[in-house]
Structure 1
Amino acid sequence: MKQSDSPNIPVPNLGVALIPIVLTIGLLGIQIFYYDDFTPHIALALGFAITALVGWFQGYRWKDIESGAFHVLHVAMPAVATLILVGMLVGTWISSGTVPLLIYYGLELINPAWFLAASMLLCSVVAVVIGSSWTTVGTVGLALVGIGTTFGIPVYWTVGAVVSGAFFGDKVSPLSDTTNLAAAVTETNVFDHIRNMMPTTIPAMIIAFCIYLIVGGEANVEAAQLAQIEQLKAGLKAHFDMGFLPVIPLLVLMGLAFFKVSPIPALFIGCCFGALVAVINYGYNLHDVLTIAHSGFKISSDSESLNTLLNRGGVTSMTWVVTLIMFALTFGGALERTRCLESVVGAIMRLTRGFRGLQTSAILTSIATNVVSGDVYLSIALPGRMYGPEYDKIAYSRLNLSRAIEEGGTLISPLIPWNAGGAFVIGALGLSMGAGDFSALLYIPLSFACWLSPAIGILYAQTGWFSKRAEATAPRTAATPQSDDYVVKTPKETSDAGLGL
């Protein structure tokens, strides 16, 4: 990204670079914790304004800051389109009976004693197969939340298990765009990258599985709950077909993912098949399915729990999430354009000594970029490009770096509410975010696999365990990239963004 007609402006000093970051975090804290209102949109907009003002004092013109913000928005548009399509998918798949069928047979097959552990494993497998945490959360995850609710399991426990499984499956899937991005920016082989993540992935998954198994084992379903479950199953069976037709949209989507069809057309085709099944099976007309795709599915049954479970989806259900992501990315783009992020990363690099400090810094930088910018792509691309040459200097493999940025990038993104990943989880699963009620955010500490992995990665960095040395190869010629070199780009300019989130 060029600087238009502006002169070559140097990187700001650390004190100046921290001004917009610290003030924005302060505004977010006041909005969320003092006023008990989780609507961070305007705080992030003010953060963008503060960053623009800092940039203006540095010598940047408005069109430079604007182009930086809009560039990141442009790159993120496939992810925004994916969000919108998942909203449409949820609505049409409920109307087709696909989601109700998954809930019905989930109630039949999954025992509440091991529900959480099974949910994590199921989401892991689906995410690995299709390469998408977002699609897994919006389809299978949504069904599991409904099942868990009927079992009397708190929703934040179920969401924690779903997020742990979905984002870990995404992390180790060769079909995921974030996995391919981490390998690309560190110039490593994607399959070597996946293999090198196993030392942190496997222990984190085993620990999380054991916790979910123990907690799930305490969920004893009482007679009243069993009666409620049977009533819900009866309601699902009365209103929806439990035969083969509702399975078709799911099979189509999984088939398209298997054949590596780009996610945006794949999700749209999945919506179309859901709408088609709704028309054939339930007699909806064109106007009905268009309304459902836009405004979500609506049912008025005698069962309040059934209504609460199924009245969701549609483009409008994603409005809060999409606008939040746009505000966050605009702020992150301005920080990147004014080189504030580069200044912070540079200061960290100057403090690192040896592999232990470098590896730990890479993980923490990726996490911090996730928190500040709200963009998972930037949290992978920025430290991936900036730290790469430092690993070459100390003769350690860049596979250590690719693992670090996946742990601080892909896995941490769903745990940050204003990040694209966290905002998606909140929106897709319909988590209640009323004034002063943050109980839904309890899923964050309960997504054990997501934060255990970077914690284990830091442990390995300090002990030297599973820290791969560089192989004897021809020296790299690439210099440490400057600000124009780490513009946020995914493989194919993020044309495949979405199935990997």
Structure 2
Amino acid sequence: MAKDDIVPPRAPTLGIALTPVILTLLLLGLQLFYFDDFTPHIPLAIGLAITGVVGLYLGHSWPSMENGVFRVINVSLPSVSVLIVVGMIIGVWIASGTVPTLIYYGLIILSPQIFLAAAMIMCAVVSLSLGTSWGTIGTIGLALMGIGAGFDVPMYWTAGAVVSGAFFGDKISPLSDTTNLAPAVTATNLFDHIRNMMPTTVPAMLIALAIYVWAGYNMVDGGGASFESINAITSTLNDNFMISPWLLVPALLVIALAVMKKPPIPSLFAGVIVGGLMAIIAQGATLHDVFGFANSGYSIETGVAEIDSLLNRGGVQSMMWTISLILIALGFGGALERTGCLQTIIEAILSKVHSFAGVQTSAIGTSMATNLVAGDPYLSIALPGRMYSPVYRGMGYSTLNLSRAVEEGGTLMSPLIPWNAGGAFVISALGLGIAGGNLENLLYIPLAFACWMAPVIGILYAWTGMFSPRASEAELQDWRDNDRQVTDLSQYGYDDPLDGVRAGPVPAE
């Protein structure tokens, strides 16, 4: 019998709960800014160890904490699986000529002035269809990075536009796991949740679109691009690959399967298989070559630096740095949740806010902070969603406000935190080179305008009362009939959303 079953562990005080969080953030800052080394694995691992010591002090058994760590990791394994398949896609689609063809036609069809705006729109459409920001970034996003290089657009600008579009689609796609998780933890309807996100999502996207159009016409070189560079890239691609519209079939197949609402992992893997066949038929690769591309990535020396730096990538092994970071970050987040540290911090916040505007702002901020500390977009949605639901009920506000808040603080902030699962993937898949110390590319974070503008707009709505729906009669009746929300979270690996959380109403202001 576990120790926890004999003597219940103590709840941490706020000071104890903050200890592992603050120490870990200090270690991350030391590694990133003092040592100028972006390898956050060890600081996060030490943070996990510190949290374990805190848990033992509070009376938790090691098996209990271990279970909490592995539960959170287990919840995110489907996304890790997507990452592995995307690694295969990157290597195989480069070898098949799919990515080179996308770059080639993009350089011919698009103009530098509209490139950033077009990149955001393309990624938004594909992500909405696929229901996965990661799949979009690892496929279309990678090709757009090559097109941007041909137009002499700084890669952090291109990455910002790609991230803005990809996570916009992920946020409102009914096929997205996070879009389904947010209403699940707050007991709201999926499509009502998507509709309620439009008042923040649409303005954020329009503002971002306007900025990207402005930037396209006002780059340092006056909006022009080096035609010599474009010609060098297109001619080199022609010399080294067969370029044909037929080579876009793998990408079109994946999008078609997504539109048909097929599961994302089999759909993406179908793209790997078809891409492999294209590499054999069109580019003369052998089956053994394809296996190598899928595992270790593609390698080529063309003599053109822009092409070599872009196309020498991909494969499952290229994702191991990212996967190891994600697993450690998730373990840290799971330990913080199991020891009660995150719950104590959230309850301290809730004790200080007494208005709807304050609660809505706190819910968004808590999701952001959980993303920052725990490194897990799922936990940043599930934990605040569970903790804040009774507060909204007590105030008589619809929990649609909460589901929007945790999406904006959870889904949209994930790619903007380098050691978060989302941020680590963006950096790896787009080849931003942060791990090599090129911290300039972190500028993609403020340039991903749609991601951080949506929560800002959401906070403005909360303080003005706009687009902040009160509970409907149907919701009120449901709350009268059930003193606990009935939500099946087993598919996400979570318990009942109000387990361990006060279920009684909080008095309205």
- Letter paired with 1:232: I
Question: Partners of 2:224 and 2:458 in 1: how far apart?
Answer: 45
**Paired residue for 1:381?**
382
**Paired residue for 1:358?**
359
- Letter paired with 1:386: M
Deviations 1:363-393 (A, max 9, x none): 0010011001000000001111111111111
Aligned pairs (5 A) from 1:182-221: 182-219=182-219, 220=221
CA contact (8 A) 1:83 1:318 kept: yes
Aligned pairs (5 A) from 1:401-420: 401-420=402-421
Change (3 A) 1:222 1:363: closer
CA contact (8 A) 1:180 1:491 kept: no
**Paired residue for 1:63?**
63
**Paired residue for 2:425?**
424
Shift of 1:434: 4.9
**Paired residue for 1:115?**
115
Deviations 1:250-298 (A, max 9, x none): 1221122122222222222211111111111122122111111111101
Question: Partners of 2:255 and 2:422 in 1: how far apart?
Answer: 21
Question: Partners of 1:160 and 1:268 in 2: how far apart?
Answer: 27
Aligned residue for 2:473, secondary structure, equals coil
**Paired residue for 2:134?**
134
**Paired residue for 1:145?**
145
CA contact (8 A) 1:87 1:318 kept: yes
Aligned pairs (5 A) from 1:392-403: 392-403=393-404
Shift of 1:302: 3.4
**Paired residue for 1:309?**
310
- Letter paired with 2:142: L
Question: Partners of 2:482 and 2:340 in 1: how far apart?
Answer: 20
Aligned residue for 1:353, secondary structure, equals coil
Deviations 1:142-174 (A, max 9, x none): 111111111111000000011011101111111
| Alignment size in residue pairs | 489
Shift of 1:435: 5.3
- Letter paired with 1:204: A
- Letter paired with 2:39: T
CA contact (8 A) 2:164 2:450 kept: yes
Say if 2:77 is the partner of 1:80: no
Question: Partners of 1:12 and 1:248 in 2: how far apart?
Answer: 55
Question: Partners of 1:39 and 1:286 in 2: how far apart?
Answer: 35
Aligned residue for 2:434, secondary structure, equals coil
Aligned residue for 1:312, secondary structure, equals coil
Change (3 A) 1:436 1:282: closer
Change (3 A) 1:222 1:387: closer
Q: With structure 2 as the length reference, what TM-score do the two structures score?
A: 0.92
Question: Partners of 1:320 and 1:185 in 2: how far apart?
Answer: 31
**Paired residue for 1:97?**
97
Aligned residue for 1:469, secondary structure, equals coil
**Paired residue for 1:437?**
438
**Paired residue for 2:501?**
none
Shift of 1:304: 2.9
**Paired residue for 2:157?**
157
Question: Partners of 2:223 and 2:18 in 1: how far apart?
Answer: 54
CA contact (8 A) 1:151 1:221 kept: no
**Paired residue for 2:15?**
15
Question: Partners of 1:29 and 1:262 in 2: how far apart?
Answer: 39
CA contact (8 A) 1:386 1:480 kept: no
**Paired residue for 1:499?**
none
Aligned residue for 1:197, secondary structure, equals helix
Change (3 A) 1:475 1:10: farther
| Worse overlay, 460-469 or 412-421 | 460-469
Question: Partners of 2:183 and 2:225 in 1: how far apart?
Answer: 51
CA contact (8 A) 1:36 1:437 kept: no
Question: Partners of 1:320 and 1:61 in 2: how far apart?
Answer: 30
- Letter paired with 1:217: Y
**Paired residue for 1:325?**
326
Shift of 1:426: 0.3
Change (3 A) 1:8 1:214: same
Shift of 1:479: 5.5
Shift of 1:438: 0.7
Question: Partners of 1:129 and 1:45 in 2: how far apart?
Answer: 36
CA contact (8 A) 1:145 1:159 kept: yes
Shift of 1:198: 1.1
Identical residues among aligned pairs (%): 55
Question: Partners of 1:4 and 1:259 in 2: how far apart?
Answer: 47
Change (3 A) 1:435 1:234: closer
- Letter paired with 2:35: Y
Q: CA RMSD in A?
A: 2.0
Question: Partners of 1:478 and 1:355 in 2: how far apart?
Answer: 23
CA contact (8 A) 1:112 1:216 kept: yes
Deviations 1:5-26 (A, max 9, x none): 3532242111111111111111
CA contact (8 A) 2:97 2:283 kept: no
| Worse overlay, 405-414 or 172-181 | 172-181
Q: With structure 1 as the length reference, what TM-score do the two structures score?
A: 0.94
